[in-house]
Structure 1
C-alpha cells in the first residue's frame, strides 16, 4: 500500500529533501542576506540622517518577507531532519541565542529609530542595526565553519538523543572565524550591490566601492578556505555499507576521519567543481559588473556567488549533514537523520503546492517595490521609515 501511495522510494526522497534544504538556505542567504548586508553598511555608506533613511527604506518594505526563508528553513529542518534539528538547535544553543538577539534588534531598529528625531537617539539605533547585520552574518558563517570541522556531540545508544559536549567559545576557532568573516564579506557585498542598484548619488557611489572590495575579498577568503579544507581539515567518509532506505539510526554505520576526505566527492563527480568555480568566478564578476554600473547583472552575479559557496559546502560534505568529532559513528547523514518515508512525501506535496504560490507573491511584491529610493521618494511617502 505504501509503495502505491508514495511513488518515490525512501532513499530518493531523502536526497530530494537534502536538495530542498540547500535551496532554502540559498534562498535565505540571497533574499535576507542583502538585508543583513545593508544593515551592516548603514553607518559607512550613509553619512546624514536623510541618507540613512534612504538606505533603511531600500529594505524596510521587504525584510519581513525575506526573513520567512529562515523561518521556513528552520521548520523544514524540524520536520524533515529531526535529529539534525535536535543536535544543532540544542547543542549550539548559546550561538543560536546570540543570533536570535541580533535578528530581534533589526526590526526593533527599523521601527523605533524614527520615533524621535534626536540625533543621538537615531545614531544609537543605527549602530545597533549595523551590529545586528554583522553579528548575524558572522554567526551564520561560524556555524558553517564548525559543521565542516565536525561538532562535538554524541548520541544516547538507547534513545538516539543527541548529547552535546562542546563550549560556546570553542565555536570561535580559527577556521570557523575565517568562515564567519567570509560570510560577512559575502553578505555585505550583496547588500552593497543592492544599494548601488536601488539608490543614487553619494550613497550609491559609496556602496559601489564597498561592493567592489567586498566581492574581491569574498573570492579570496573562499579560495583560502578551500585550500585550508583540502590540506588541513579532517573530513569524514562512510566505510560500512550504506543503507539508503532504512530507518534513521546514525549508530548503524562506521565512519573514518581523514585529512582531505571532504575532497573525495570531487573525484567521484568532477562536475561538482562547478560549485566552487561559481563561487569564485561570480564574486569576481560582481566586482567587474558593479564597476561598470551594470547593477542588475551585478546583483545576479552576487546571488550566484552566494549559491556557489553554499553549494560547495553541501557537495563537499555529502552525504554528511552534521559530522561528530566526539563519536564519528554518531555523525548525521542524509540516510540516517530524516523523518519517515510518509512524512517526507507529505511535506514534498505541500511544498510543490505552496512554494510556487509564495514565489509568485514575492515576485509581485518586488515588482510593486521596484525603482530607485531617493530622499525625495522617502519624504513623499508618509509611511516610510
Structure 2
C-alpha cells in the first residue's frame, strides 16, 4: 500500500531534525583549516597477539605475580596499553602493582564483551578504565559513543565496583574540537553512574609532536607512554587515598513543635484576701461606728451617715473604711446680720435667738 503525503513530510522533518541535532552535539567532520599531523617519537615493533574468543581483535591480559602487600590496579584499554602489556614501558614503582587488559582496535562495545568474559585470577583493589579513543571513528555521533560507553561502564561496575576513568588520549589525526566533544560526553555518562573521571588532554598539546609516533594515533615509547604511566599512577593514588565523601543529608520535612508538657505559671508575692460577696457593703458614719447590712440597726441612725459600695474589677481588692469627720462651724451675730444684708433670706430679719438654731443646722449639714 503506497504511503501518503503526510508520511513523506514526517520523514523529511525527521531527517532535518537529525541533521540539526548532530550539528548541535558535536563536530563530525574536520574543519577546513584542520590538517592531520604525524608524530616524531619512536615506537617499538608491534608484536602479534592471540585473537580473542569473544571479539575479532587481538587480546592480552597480564596479571602480576606476587607482591601481596601492594595494592593491585587493573588497567583496561585498547592499543595504547601495548607497551605496558609487552613490558616495553615500565610503570612507576611504589605501593601499587598494575595489570593490563589490552584489546587493540576495540571500541566500547568490544571492551564490554571482553570485561564480561575475562578470567582475572587476582581481585583488583581498583580498576582504571582508559576511555576508548577508537569510538572517534566507530561511532557516528558523540551521543552514540556515550551510550556505548555507559553500557561499558555498567559492565565493569557489575564485576568491580571500585573503578575510575581516564579520558581518551588525543590524536593528531583528529581535530581537538571533536576529541573534546567526545570526552565531554564520556564525562557526563561517567558522572551519571558515580564514576570519577580524570581529563589528561591538557598534558598532550598538539604542539609537542614528539609525544606521538609517526602515525599520529599512538603515543611514543620514549616520551608519550612514560607520561601516560605517570598519569595512571597519580590517578590511582588519588582514587585510593582520597577519602570518600559522605552521602548528602536528605532534607527532612519539619513538623510543628508540640511541647511535651504545658508549663505552669507560678506568681510569687503577697496573696490578697478574696473579695466579699457583691451584696455586702459598709456603712460609714461620722461617729466612727459601722455596722454591716446583715446586722439590725436602730431607726435612730444619724442622717449624716454615708454608704460606700465595694468596688470589684475581677481582682482581689481589700475594702477599707472611709469616713470624713465633720467640723462644726459657728457664726457670730454681726456676721449673720452682714450676710443677711448682702443676700437677704426669705425669712426676713433673723432674730438673735435663732442664731444658735441656724448654727446648729449648719453643723448638721
Greater helix proportion? 1
Q: Name the TM-score, length of structure 1 as normaliser.
A: 0.21
Q: Name the TM-score, length of structure 2 as normaliser.
A: 0.22
Higher relative contact order (CA 8 A, sep 6+): 1
Larger radius of gyration: 2
Greater strand proportion? 2
